[in-house]
Structure 1
C-alpha cells in the first residue's frame, strides 16, 4: 500500500507541476531564507579558497519514477547519484598561466527498474546504470595556449562534456537529449575513459567563433566490455584485455548577437571505433563509424530576471551503420523556456521529442521504430535545491510490437553546494 501511494504521489506531483506550473511560492521563500542563513559560512570560506585557486562543488540527485501504463512491467523504481568536483587553477596556485587540474568523484546506485520496466531502447533516465559505482569519474589536466585559442586536455574525460552535447537540453531526463544514441561506442556515462583532446579556435571574431576539436579515447568498453568507469591512467590504451580506441572529430560554430541572432551554436562531427564488431548477421567488421549534427538557438530574452531567461530551441541528428548499430538514425528536437512565469526567474520547463530509427537489417529483428516524448517542469526552490516532475510517453518501446506504449511519471530532486 505504501509503495502504491508513493508512486501515485509521483504521478500526482508530476501532473500538477506540468499542467499548472505548480511551485509552492511560500515554501520556496522560506527555503531560500533558511538556506541562505545556513550556507553563509560556507560561502565565505569557499570564496577564500577560490581566491587562492581551489574551487569545489557537489550535487546529490534522487529520482523516483514509475511505469504507469504499458511497457514491460507497471512498476516503480528509484535511483540516486552524487558527484563532488574539485578544480585547481594553476595560474593562481603556482603562476602557470592557462593550466587547470580537475577531478570528479562519483557515487551511483545500481538500477533496479528504469528501462528494464519500460522496455525502451533510448533509456528514459540519464542516471540509469546497471551497476553501483564509486569512482574517480574524471581526472584531467588542461592547458590553454595562444590566449586560449589552443586547448589541450589530457586524462580521464567524459566525452559528452566536449562532444555532441546540447546545452539547452541539459534539464531533460531522457538520455538521448544528452547525446545521440547512434554513438553507441561513446566513452561517456557511466564509462568515461583516458583520452587526449585538442581544440583549436581557428576563427575568433567579436560575435562568432569557429573551433575544431579532436579526441582519442581508450575504447575498451564497446567491444571487449572492459568497464572503464572505475579505471584510471594505469590502463591507458593497454589493460591486457583490449587495445581498442575511439576517436572523434568535431567542428563547432558559435555565435552571440550576430545580426538578429542571439546566442547559438552548430556542431558537426564524426567518430570511428577500431574494434572488431559482430554484425547482426554474424559477420565480422573491422571497425565502425558514424556522424552527428547538433544545433541550438536562443530565440528570446526575458525583459527582466536572470541573464539566462528566455526561450531556447535545439535539434539533433545522428547516423550509424545499421548492420552493427541497433539505432541507425536518430532525430531529436526540443524547446525550453527559462524563467517560465513572472517571479520564477530560475524555473524552467521544456518538451523534447526523440525518434530512434531502428536498424532495418533483416537479422536485427526490429519491427518498428521508437519515439519518446519528454516533458518537465523544474521548480528552483532556492539556489541549491530544485524539484523536477517529469512525464514521458514512449511509442513502440524498442520497436517491439509485443510491448505496449509506455507512460512514465517521475520526480527528480537535487541538492547542490
Structure 2
C-alpha cells in the first residue's frame, strides 16, 4: 500500500498604484507639471516548499516626468513612455533555504545592484546606478537565469545571465556577478557586469563588449538611523557618464509609520562635468494600505548653460 501526501498550492496576489504629481519651481505653465501613475498586479503561486511561479503586470499612464528637467538622473523611478505589458514571469526552485535558481523574464535590479534601505527614495539612481547602462531593468526586463546563495548573515554570492539583445535574444548576453557580506547591522555589496554585443564608443570606435562595476554599503548606526553609500563606474567610453557617487541616510522617526530620507547623488561625465542631485522625503503610512510621501529635489545640471532645478513631488502609494 502506497500513501500519498498532497501539498496544497498557495496563491497570493496584490494590486498597487503609485501616483506621482511633480511641479517644477519657477514656472507656472502646464509644461512645468507632470502627473502620472504606475499600476501593478503582482501574483505568486507556491506549489510546495521548493517551487514558486510568480509574475506581474505593469501599466504606466500620464506625462513622463523626465520632460520637466531633462537631467541625466531623472526625477522619478516610475517615469516612462506609456506601456502595458507582462513585466515579469519566472519560475524559481529552492535547493535549500539558502540556495535558489530563478529563470524567466526578470527585472535584474530587483536582485542585483540595489541598496535595500534606500527603497523609499523616488530618484532613479536609488534603484540602479546610472553607469550600469546595460542592466535589464525598468521598464524593460529580460529573459534570464540566475543563481543565488544567501545565508542570513556572512558571505552571499549570486550571478545572472540575461538576454542582451531585444531582451529575449541570447545572441548577445548581459552577465552580472555580485558578492555581499551581511551582518545584523550592515550590508556590503560588490558587483561586476559585462555586456557582450555591438557597441560604438563616443569617438566612433567599435567594441564587442562593455563592462562596469559597483560598490554599495549600508550601515545601521542606531535603532532609528541607517547610512548608505554607492560608488560605481563604467569602464568603456560608450556613454557620457563615467562615475556615480551617492551618500544618504534614512531615519525611522519615533512616531510609528513615519520615515525621513536625505541623499546626495553625483554623476560625472568623461569631460569631468558633473550633475548633482539632492533629495529629501518624508514618508507617512496613513494606513497599512496607503502611504503619502512629499519629496523635494534640487538638481545642478551637467550642462552649465542650464539653471538649477527645484522639483516638488507628492507621491501617493496604495496597495490592496
**TM-score normalised over the length of structure 2:** 0.93
Give the distance between the partners of 1:321 and 1:406, measured in 2 at CA. 30
Q: Say which structure, 1 or 2, has more relative contact order (CA 8 Å, 6+ apart).
A: 1
Deviation (angstroms), 1:322: 5.0
Structure-2 residue corresponding to 1:167 = 116
Shift of the 390–161 alpha-carbon distance from structure 1 to 2, 3 Å rule, reads same
Q: Hey, what does 1:217 align to over in structure 2?
A: 162
Q: How does 1:5-84 map to 2 (within 5 A)?
A: 52-69=9-26, 75-84=32-41
> What's the offset of the Cα at 1:100?
0.8
**SS of aligned partner of 1:244:** strand
Residues 310-329 of structure 1 aligned to structure 2 (within 5 Å): 310-321=224-235, 323-329=237-243
Matched, 1:333 2:253: no
Greater per-residue helix proportion: 1
Q: Are the aligned partners of 1:336 and 1:348 in contact in 2 as well (CA < 8 Å)?
A: yes
**How many Å apart are 1:78 and its aligned residue?**
1.1
Corresponding residue of 1:26:
none
Structure 2 runs not aligned, ≥5 long: 1-7
Determine if the alignment matches structure 1 residue 270 to structure 2 residue 199: no
* CA shift digits 1:151-187 (9 cap, x unpaired): 1000011001110011111011110011211101110
Query: Which structure's CA Rg is the greater one?
Result: 1
For residues 317 and 300 of structure 1, what CA distance do their matches in structure 2 show? 23
Other-structure match for 2:153: 208
- Partner residue in 1 for 2:46: 89
The structure carrying a bigger strand percent of its residues is 2
SS at match of 1:219: strand
**Alpha-carbon distance, 1:115 to partner:** 2.4
Which residue of the partner structure matches residue 409 of structure 1?
Answer: 312
Deviations 1:240-290 (A, max 9, x none): xxx32111000011111xxxxx3x211101000011111111111111000
State the Cα distance separating 1:208 from its structure 2 match: 2.3
Partner of 2:292: 387
Q: In the alignment, which of 67, 80, 87 is matched to residue 137 of structure 1?
A: 87
d(CA) in 2 for partners of 1:188 and 1:127?
12
Secondary structure in structure 2 of the residue aligned to 1:121: coil
Q: Which runs of 4+ in 1 moved over 6 A?
A: none
Matched, 1:237 2:194: no
Matched-pair contact (CA < 8 Å) for 2:9–2:45 = no
Q: Which residue of 2 aligns with 1:305?
A: none
Size of the alignment, in residue pairs?
311
Q: Which residue of 2 aligns with 1:186?
A: 135
- Of 138, 144, 166 in structure 2, the residue corresponding to residue 195 of structure 1 is 144
User: Are 1:337 and 1:349, in contact at CA under 8 Å, matched by a contact in 2?
Assistant: yes
Q: Does the 8 Å CA contact 1:119/1:403 hold for their aligned counterparts?
A: no
> Does residue 355 of structure 1 match 2:312?
no
Distance in 1, Cα, partners of 2:37 & 2:110? 21
The partner residue of 2:100 within 122, 127, 151 is: 151
Deviation at 1:368, TM superposition (A): 2.1
Q: Tell me the equivalent position of 1:22.
A: none
* Backbone CA RMSD of aligned residues: 1.7
Gap runs ≥5 in structure 1: 1-50, 92-96, 221-225, 229-235, 257-261, 302-309, 361-366
Mapped partners of 1:368, 1:200: distance in 2: 40
Q: Indicate if the aligned counterparts of 1:219 and 1:246 stay in contact, CA closer than 8 A.
A: yes
Shift of 1:52: 5.0
| d(CA) in 1 for partners of 2:78, 2:315 | 11
Quick one: which of 77, 96, 100 aligns to 1:126?
A: 77
Displacement after TM superposition at 1:58 (Å): 1.7
Contact 1:66 1:74 in 2 (8 A): no
Give TM-score, length-normalised by structure 1: 0.72
Question: What is the CA distance between 1:209 and its match in structure 2?
Answer: 2.3
